[in-house]
Amino acid sequence: MIMKSAIMGGVLATLASTPYVINAAFDLPVRMSVGPVAVVFEPGEPVDLDLNAQCMARGCPFMAVEVGDSFRLGL
C-alpha cells in the first residue's frame, strides 16, 4: 500500500515538474490544460492561468499538453 502511494506521488511530481524542465531546457512555451482551465508556462514570463470559454460551450479534451507550436497531446 505504501509502495503504491509512493509510485503515484512520484508520477504526479514528475508530471508537475515537466513544464518547468521543458521550458528551461529547450526555451519553448508549454501549455497544460484540464478541461477549460489551462496553465501556460512561457520562457521569461510568470506562470499564467487561462480560461477557455469556447471550450465550455462546444466541448474540449479532458486533458491536453502543448509544447511549442507543433506538438500537442490530448486525452
Domain spans in the chain, listed from the N-terminal domain onward: 2-74
CA angle, 38 then 42 then 44, to 5°? 145
pLDDT tens for 43-73 read 888 888 888 888 777 777 788 888 887 777 7
pLDDT tens for 9-35 read 877 777 777 777 777 777 888 888 888
Backbone angles phi and psi of 12, in degrees to 5: -65, -40
